[in-house]
Copies of this chain bind each other. A is one copy, B any other.
Amino acid sequence: MSDLLERLRGRGWRMTSQRRVVAEVLDGDHVHLTADEVHARAARRLPEISRATVYNTLGELVALGEVAEVSTDGRAKRYDPNAHRPHQHLVCSGCGAIRDVRPTGDPLADLPAQERFGFTVSGAEVTYRGLCPSCA
Contact = CB atoms under 8 A, between A and B. Distances in A.
Contact of A71 (B71, B101, B129): B71
Contacts of A101: 111, 115-117
Interface residues of A, number: 39
Contact of A110 (B90, B104, B119, B122): B104
B119 A92 contact: yes
A104 B112 contact: yes
Interface in A102-134: 102-105, 107-108, 110-112, 115-133
Contacts of A133: 117-119
Contacts of A107: 103, 107, 110, 126, 128
A97 to B, nearest CB: 9
B132 A118 contact: yes
Contact of A90 (B99, B121, B132): B121
Interface of A: 69, 71, 73-74, 77, 90, 92-93, 99, 101-105, 107-108, 110-112, 115-133, 136
